[in-house]
């Protein structure tokens, strides 16, 4: 028995692979293109572990995916592969269209052919779990009810529009071809191995470097924050017990404005790693021009996955953010390698060209 994980060297994917192998001996075939956000140093603890098979490649490479499926015969696929940074999608949307839409379609075609050739028991037990985002639902007013699984899709950025398209393709392959798919739509993740272009790691890294802490607009954009390891446990549970064709929203029940997040990070750093001059880190906060089309509020109603699958987050925001800030303080070498790009050189030296598994 084996599972295939796409995008398993990225932030959420690597946390999933580590969590999976910490609680199961079922091997993982990890397919990752190793773009700027894919980092095999996230998985260095698995070096020499025969349960982890890494393959460098694109999930939109039909021949490669077909070969992997034929050789490895996975009983499930978890699809994390995506371009995911809103700012990058605004400045360069074409990669998001290519990866999130065309790549997903190409993978679905390969998976459909593979699944269709399985024997009846394997066909019945096979699952494809597609990991998506709450951003496909658009923006909420402050008093509006949180997103449920039946909320209308209203994406507002090239990133969220491309993810919405991928969700629709996954749904269509279930309803048209019977492919046993599951979709999870998560809120904002945070935790270990988060590339420091996103809010929380950027604030930690900039604060420690004495740089400005840039906050968009008035900082009152509200997000629901989900500790990444809680998200991974939800995916494991959905893969285990979710019903094919269903969507499950995964959230942390932690709605907070961005400015409050930044103040919380600053207060923790004041306690754990005080500035040499004794001043508070919040003095480094700088308000910058808001980004185009910035959604005002996201909020996830995660009652369905709790009621139907028995999952709920283990971490509060207070416990999760403390673990996150401490991880970045304890892993400065990882941060330095990511910022300098040295992690890319390390991958080339450590692994070289990756043969298809």
Question: Quick check: 40 and 54 in contact, CB under 8 A?
Answer: yes
Residue 250: partners with Cβ closer than 8 Å, 6 or more residues away: 184, 185, 186, 187, 226, 231, 234, 235, 300, 302, 305, 311
Question: Quick check: 142 and 297 in contact, CB under 8 A?
Answer: yes
| SS3 state of residue 157 | coil
Residue 150: partners with Cβ closer than 8 Å, 6 or more residues away: none
Residue 188: partners with Cβ closer than 8 Å, 6 or more residues away: 134, 199, 223, 224, 225, 226, 298
Query: Is 134 known to be catalytic?
Result: yes
Distance CA 77, CA 324 (A): 28
Phi and psi, residue 39, nearest 5°? -140, 110
Q: How many residues does the chain have?
A: 357
Distance CA 259, CA 271 (A): 19
User: Which residue out of 159, 227, 248, 281 is catalytically annotated?
Assistant: 159
User: Which residue out of 32, 61, 83, 135 is catalytically annotated?
Assistant: 135
Distance CA 302, CA 250 (A): 5
What residue ranges in the chain does DSSP mark as E strands?
3-6, 28-32, 52-56, 76-79, 127-133, 181-186, 188-190, 213-216, 222-227, 247-250, 255-257, 285-288
Measured distance between the N- and C-terminal CA atoms of the chain, rounded to whole angstroms: 15
Residue 128: partners with Cβ closer than 8 Å, 6 or more residues away: 76, 77, 79, 111, 115, 170, 179, 180, 181, 182
The residues with which 4 forms a beta bridge, in sequence order, are: 29, 77
Query: Is 135 known to be catalytic?
Result: yes
Distance CA 144, CA 154 (A): 15
User: Which residue out of 134, 224, 230, 315 is catalytically annotated?
Assistant: 134
Query: Is 83 known to be catalytic?
Result: no
As annotated, the active-site residues are 134-135, 159
């Amino acid at each position: 028995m084996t599972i295939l994980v796409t995008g398993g060297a990225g932030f959420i994917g690597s946390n999933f692979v580590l969590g999976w192998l910490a609680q199961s001996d079922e091997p993982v075939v990890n397919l990752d293109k190793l773009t700027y956000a894919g980092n095999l140093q996230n998985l260095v603890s698995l070096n020499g572990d025969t349960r982890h098979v890494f393959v460098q490649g694109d999930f939109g490479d039909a021949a490669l995916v077909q070969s992997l499926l034929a050789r490895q015969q996975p009983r499930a696929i978890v699809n994390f592969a995506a371009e995911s940074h809103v700012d990058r999608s605004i400045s360069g949307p074409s990669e998001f269209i290519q990866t999130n839409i065309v790549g997903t379609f190409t993978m679905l075609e390969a998976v459909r052919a593979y699944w269709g050739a399985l024997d009846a028991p394997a066909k019945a037990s096979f699952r494809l779990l597609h990991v998506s985002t709450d951003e496909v639902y658009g923006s909420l007013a402050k008093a509006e009810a949180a997103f449920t699984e039946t909320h209308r899709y209203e994406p507002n950025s090239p990133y969220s529009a491309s993810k919405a398209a991928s969700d629709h393709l996954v749904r269509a392959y279930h309803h048209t071809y019977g492919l046993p798919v599951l979709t999870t739509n998560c809120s904002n993740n945070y935790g270990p191995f988060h590339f420091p272009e996103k809010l929380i790691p950027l604030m930690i890294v900039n604060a420690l470097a004495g740089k400005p802490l840039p906050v968009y607009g008035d900082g009152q954009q509200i997000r629901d924050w989900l500790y990444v390891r809680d998200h991974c446990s939800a995916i494991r549970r959905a893969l285990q017990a979710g019903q094919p064709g269903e969507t499950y929203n995964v959230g942390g029940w932690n709605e907070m404005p961005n400015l409050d997040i930044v103040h919380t990070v600053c207060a923790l750093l004041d306690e754990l790693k005080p500035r040499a001059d004794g001043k508070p880190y919040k003095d480094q906060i700088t308000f910058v021009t808001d980004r185009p089309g910035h959604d005002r509020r996201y909020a996830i109603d995660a009652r369905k996955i709790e009621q139907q699958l028995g999952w709920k987050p283990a971490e509060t925001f207070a416990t999760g953010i403390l673990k996150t800030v401490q991880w970045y303080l304890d892993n400065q070498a990882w941060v330095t390698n990511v910022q300098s790009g040295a992690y890319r050189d390390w991958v080339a030296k450590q692994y070289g060209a990756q043969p298809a598994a």
